[in-house]
Amino acid sequence: MGDEPDSATHPPCATGPLTGLRVVEFVGLGPAPFGCMLLADLGAEVIALRRPGSSVPALVRNRETLEVDLKDADVRTRVRALIAAADVVVEGFRPGVMERLGLGPDDVRACETGLIYARMTGWGQTGPLAHTAGHDLNYIAVTGALHLATRAGGVPVPPANLLGDFGGGAMYLATSVLAALHDRGRTGEGAVLDVSIIDGTTYLTSMQHEYRSRGTWSDVAGTNRLDTGAPYYDVYACADGRFVAVGALEEPFFVALLEVLDLDPGLAVGREDPANWPALREAIGDALRTRTRDEWARLAASTDACLSPVLDLSEAAQHPQVAQRQVLVAGDAEQWTPRLPNGFVAQPTHVDDLLQRWRVERP
């Protein structure tokens, strides 16, 4: 394989708290790429393997990709060598696919007991639906999470694919990998991680389950304080047809909201009684329809009224708080890329430099 490259000629591909961590990613869709992007943005060296001729999906940024034909036995041998040089493997295929390729956890961890092998799926490795297809919407539906996004008398509204793919999937993947790395530091042993969107999304509903067990959350959609049941936690139309979000849950904030809307302070009395909610909702709605979204945003900006404009993705970059936090990086033609809040993002070196540093031949 040759000598170790000089560090001055071949600098580390990224900087950050995970610098030196080596990850092999079998490129998939949705949660696995997002989770690996997070690891790469934190400084890990991630090499993404994809099928020959396949397009690079979204979220495969800050890392090099390499085409590999896993049907070729010689290529699979080289891929196993690549895995042997890694700390973490991430794959997002249906259960059994990696085993049929001879690249399952039992195959590659026989001599690499410190390897962390993360399996990212929707349904998990076991259960009656494990081998069936699904997407974010299916996973959040059966966990009860989609039902939470339902107005009274309405239909559930899918929150794009943020909740399942990225909240319950990718973040759960990254957290599980980091926990396994910490445990390996204590024990020297790696792990096989069965990470599923259905598990992670169910975990995200912890607060609602706790409230339900206390008798303070109803299964009737749109009747709870946090699911648009309460008029002081909802979205309202303004004079220009655009919207504002009102989140004045606590009494002091609700009083501030009434002041901004120029409504009777007496409306704060009995606001927790659901019997008063229809009239209160009407009063708030009527007031908000008298001005435009941006007018209300300016009036509420320096208050505790918890009133915010509902912005689209292009507008979000111009919001003063978002702009000050510098969480969106400007590109060409007013395109924006979210960056990791901790700011550890760095561009990777070329894939051949990475392979040389790992002492592995190109598959």
Alpha-helix residue ranges (DSSP H) falling in the chain: 31-41, 73-84, 97-100, 105-108, 136-142, 171-187, 197-204, 206-214, 251-261, 277-288, 293-300, 313-316, 320-325, 351-358
- Residue among 135, 147, 294, 304 flagged as catalytic: 135
Measured at the alpha carbon of residue 178, what is the angle toward residues 173 and 183, in degrees to the nearest 5? 125
Let me know: does 66 contact 78? Beta carbons within 8 Å: no
Task: Report which of 76, 115, 123, 75 is spatially closest to residue 98, judged by C-alpha positions.
Answer: 76
Task: Report which of 2, 44, 4 is spatially closest to residue 22, judged by C-alpha positions.
Answer: 44
In the chain, the N- to C-terminal Cα span, in Å, equals: 13
Residue 156's Cβ-side half-sphere holds a number of Cα atoms within 13 Å equal to 15
Report the C-alpha gap between 234 and 228 in whole angstroms: 5
Report the C-alpha gap between 38 and 189 in whole angstroms: 23
**Backbone CA torsion sign across 344, 182, 94, 85:** positive
131 is an active site residue:
no
Let me know: does 142 contact 163? Beta carbons within 8 Å: no
Residue 121 neighbours by CB distance under 10 Å: 25
Question: How big is the chain, counted in residues?
Answer: 363
165 is an active site residue:
yes
Residue 14 neighbours by CB distance under 10 Å: 25
Task: Report which of 173, 169, 91 is spatially closest to residue 135, judged by C-alpha positions.
Answer: 169
- Residue among 41, 87, 136, 165 flagged as catalytic: 165
Tokens of 232: 């002081």
Q: Which positions are annotated as active-site residues?
A: 135, 165
